[in-house]
């Protein structure tokens, strides 16, 4: 026990004092303090590289960009696991129905990622864009009703992103604003915005996780309740789609087959479904040699839909929320985006090619993600095989985590004005930065799968919004945002008003 408590001390690595059993969990999971900001405080105190414990989990926290590059990029075949909630159980177990591309590792991750990658290629994105645009227009109708009034705009952004993901991934055929069947479920998962007591137990007693998980699902406790609801709905949607496909192909129903041209991820995944996956998930994992079986189990079809629902909704809504808040505070930046709109698509909705021309808008989105890297918590890797990097021995099962907030606010990297919103810093192509200095989407082969979709949604939404409205501060707009959350770090509300432009 004392060996674990002093694990980092024995290795000469500094860090916050640990206690028996909890390690640093009591501070790290303190609900009054966002844990990624806690890491920032510790970095200030202990420097570029320090160690901490989450129960039995050994964590190395670092802002050393070269070390991060080795871990996330160069040695990604050794660091291919993620830091996950202990309640997920064994992610290498093929009967674990919760495993998806976000939480899988090794060969299984490689297969899921290879199969999911084409979903976000240019051809698919172009097919999706009209649906995204239609969802933007629907959302603007609701925003119009609140024109000129001080509002909390965050729920509108959540409605928008859940509408998009439900329509492109989950079989919903038209917009369902303020009536989306998934929203209440996923909102609960995120709005809890902190680890549960069950997770805490899972960290401390990892060997009890199978029992904890069964109890949580049996009695429908906490997050298990929302997972059950979401999986129930998704299972139903997938089952119904399978039946429809079977009857459609039996009848050679041309109308349905045409409908399939409209991209829906359920169909893409069902095309790959099989009852039998033959795969070795043994270590070490050789990212170059493995042969990919182009198949998904039925569990995985549902789990893939689930991860898109979960990963694609709150992240993008929150990102739009921060951006709108920053634009309210920076009318000059708004004006520059409106100038871009007026020159690129004054009288038509932007095409995919138009979206690529919005250089200032893109720089401003990047800058907002620098100031608010909302999913910083995900930038972590599990070492799957003891290795040495630049003289530092990292043992199997140690987690290496990037302190993204410190990196994103570093004056060394971003200059004296690192606290300010300045999109121009992303326009200057001569300004060379380390590849790990901007990490809102993570890095390496496990970088965010939905990044291109997120950009497309955010650009289309902001273009639609700023074409019609100016965003203004209200008496409730705070000077500094109070942040909350665990999985995704979010503002409590986005208090602004939208004022008709013309």
Please report, as ranges, the residues that interact with ligand HEM according to CB under 6 A: 101-102, 113, 307-308, 311-312, 315-316, 319, 374-375, 378-379, 440-443, 446-450, 453-454
Burial of 192 (0-12, 13-18, 19+ CB in 10 A): middle
Centroid of chain to Cα 163: 17
Measuring CA to CA, which residue among 431, 376, 447 is closest to residue 405?
Answer: 376
Residue carrying structure tokens 């650009």: 459
Q: What share of the chain is helix, strand, coil (3-state, %, to 5)?
A: 55, 10, 35
Task: Please say which residue, 102 or 469, places its beta carbon nearer to ligand HEM.
Answer: 102
- Per-residue tokens: 410: 């570093």
225: left (phi > 0), else alpha (psi -120 to 50), else beta? alpha
CB of 185 to ligand HEM, least distance (A): 16
CB of 429 to ligand HEM, least distance (A): 23
- Per-residue tokens: 119: 């979903």
Q: Are the beta carbons of 201 and 209 closer than 8 angstroms?
A: no
Task: Please say which residue, 446 or 497, places its beta carbon nearer to ligand HEM.
Answer: 446
Task: Please say which residue, 122 or 211, places its beta carbon nearer to ligand HEM.
Answer: 122
CA neighbours closer than 13 Å in the CB half-sphere of residue 421 = 23
CB of 214 to ligand HEM, least distance (A): 26
CB of 342 to ligand HEM, least distance (A): 26
CB of 140 to ligand HEM, least distance (A): 20
- Report the C-alpha gap between 235 and 231 in whole angstroms: 6
Q: Are the beta carbons of 161 and 135 closer than 8 angstroms?
A: no
Tell me how long the chain is.
502
Task: Please say which residue, 89 or 450, places its beta carbon nearer to ligand HEM.
Answer: 450
User: What angle separates helix 298-329 from helix 106-116, to the nearest 10 degrees?
Assistant: 70
CB of 84 to ligand HEM, least distance (A): 11
Q: Are the beta carbons of 267 and 241 closer than 8 angstroms?
A: yes
Handedness of CA 288, 302, 452, 312 (dihedral sign): negative
- Report the C-alpha gap between 311 and 314 in whole angstroms: 7
Task: Please say which residue, 369 or 466, places its beta carbon nearer to ligand HEM.
Answer: 369
Q: What is the H or E stretch that residue 382 is in?
A: strand 380-382
CB atoms within 10 A of CB 174: 11
CB of 493 to ligand HEM, least distance (A): 19
Strand 57-62 relative to strand 399-402, pairing: parallel
448 marked ligand binding residue: yes
Burial of 370 (0-12, 13-18, 19+ CB in 10 A): buried
CB of 310 to ligand HEM, least distance (A): 8
Task: Please say which residue, 209 or 453, places its beta carbon nearer to ligand HEM.
Answer: 453
- Report the C-alpha gap between 287 and 77 in whole angstroms: 6
CB atoms within 10 A of CB 419: 10
Q: Are the beta carbons of 366 and 441 closer than 8 angstroms?
A: no
DSSP labels for 424-450? Answer: GGGT-TT----TTS--TT--GGGS-TT
Strand 380-382 relative to strand 387-389, pairing: unpaired
Task: Please say which residue, 319 or 493, places its beta carbon nearer to ligand HEM.
Answer: 319
CB of 498 to ligand HEM, least distance (A): 21
Task: Please say which residue, 311 or 389, places its beta carbon nearer to ligand HEM.
Answer: 311
Instruction: Kindly list the distances between the CA atom of residue 270 and the CA atoms of 1, 13, 56, 157, 298, in Å, as whole numbers in the listed order.
Output: 48, 49, 39, 30, 8
CB of 259 to ligand HEM, least distance (A): 21
CB of 375 to ligand HEM, least distance (A): 4
- Give phi and psi for 380, each to the nearest 5: -145, 150
Task: Please say which residue, 81 or 86, places its beta carbon nearer to ligand HEM.
Answer: 81
Task: Please say which residue, 132 or 212, places its beta carbon nearer to ligand HEM.
Answer: 132
Residue carrying structure tokens 């789990």: 303
Task: Please say which residue, 7 or 70, places its beta carbon nearer to ligand HEM.
Answer: 70
Binding site: residue ranges?
A: 448
Task: Output the known binding site for heme.
Answer: 448
């Amino acid at each position: 026990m004392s060996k674990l408590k002093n694990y980092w001390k024995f290795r000469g690595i500094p860090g916050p004092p640990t206690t028996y059993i909890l390690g640093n969990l009591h501070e790290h999971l303190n609900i009054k303090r966002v844990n990624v900001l806690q890491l920032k405080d510790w970095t200030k105190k202990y420097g570029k590289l320090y160690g901490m414990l989450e129960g039995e989990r050994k964590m190395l926290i670092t802002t050393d960009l070269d070390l991060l590059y080795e871990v996330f990029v160069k040695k990604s075949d050794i660091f291919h696991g993620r830091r996950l909630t202990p309640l997920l159980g064994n992610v290498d177990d093929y009967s674990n129905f919760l495993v998806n591309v976000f939480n899988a590792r090794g060969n299984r991750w490689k297969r899921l990622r290879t199969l999911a990658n084409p979903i976000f290629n240019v051809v698919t994105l172009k097919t999706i864009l009209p649906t995204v645009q239609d969802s933007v227009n629907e959302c603007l109708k609701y925003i119009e009703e609140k024109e000129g009034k001080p509002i909390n705009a965050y729920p509108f952004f959540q409605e928008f992103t859940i509408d998009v993901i439900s329509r492109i991934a989950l079989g919903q055929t038209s917009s369902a604003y303020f009536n989306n069947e998934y929203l209440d479920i996923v909102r609960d998962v995120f709005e809890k915005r902190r680890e549960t007591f069950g997770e805490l137990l899972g960290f401390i007693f990892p060997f009890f996780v199978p029992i904890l998980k069964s109890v949580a699902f049996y009695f429908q406790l906490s997050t298990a309740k929302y997972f059950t609801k979401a999986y129930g709905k998704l299972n139903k949607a997938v089952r119904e789609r399978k039946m429809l496909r079977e009857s459609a192909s039996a009848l050679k129903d041309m109308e349905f087959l045409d409908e399939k041209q409209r991209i829906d991820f359920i169909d893409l995944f069902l095309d790959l479904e099989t009852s039998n996956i033959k795969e070795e998930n043994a270590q070490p994992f050789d990212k170059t040699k493995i042969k990919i079986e182009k198949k998904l189990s039925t569990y995985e079809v549902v789990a893939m839909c689930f991860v898109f629902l979960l990963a694609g909704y709150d992240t993008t809504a929150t990102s739009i929320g921060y951006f709108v808040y920053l634009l309210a505070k920076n009318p000059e930046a708004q004006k520059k985006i409106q100038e871009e709109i007026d020159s690129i698509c004054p009288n038509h909705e932007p095409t995919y090619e138009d979206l690529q021309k919005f250089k200032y808008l893109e720089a401003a989105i990047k800058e907002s993600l620098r100031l608010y890297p909302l999913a910083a918590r995900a930038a972590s890797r599990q070492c799957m095989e003891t290795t040495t990097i630049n003289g530092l021995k990292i043992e199997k099962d140690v987690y290496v985590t990037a302190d993204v907030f410190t990196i994103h606010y570093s004056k060394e990297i971003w200059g004296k004005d690192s606290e300010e919103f300045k999109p121009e810093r992303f326009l200057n192509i001569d300004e060379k930065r380390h590849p790990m200095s901007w990490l809102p989407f993570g890095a390496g082969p496990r970088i965010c799968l939905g990044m291109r979709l997120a950009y497309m949604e955010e650009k289309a939404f902001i273009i639609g919004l700023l074409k019609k409205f100016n965003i203004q501060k209200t008496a409730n707009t705070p000077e500094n945002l109070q942040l909350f959350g665990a999985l995704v770090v979010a503002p409590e509300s986005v208090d602004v008003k939208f004022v008709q432009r013309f």
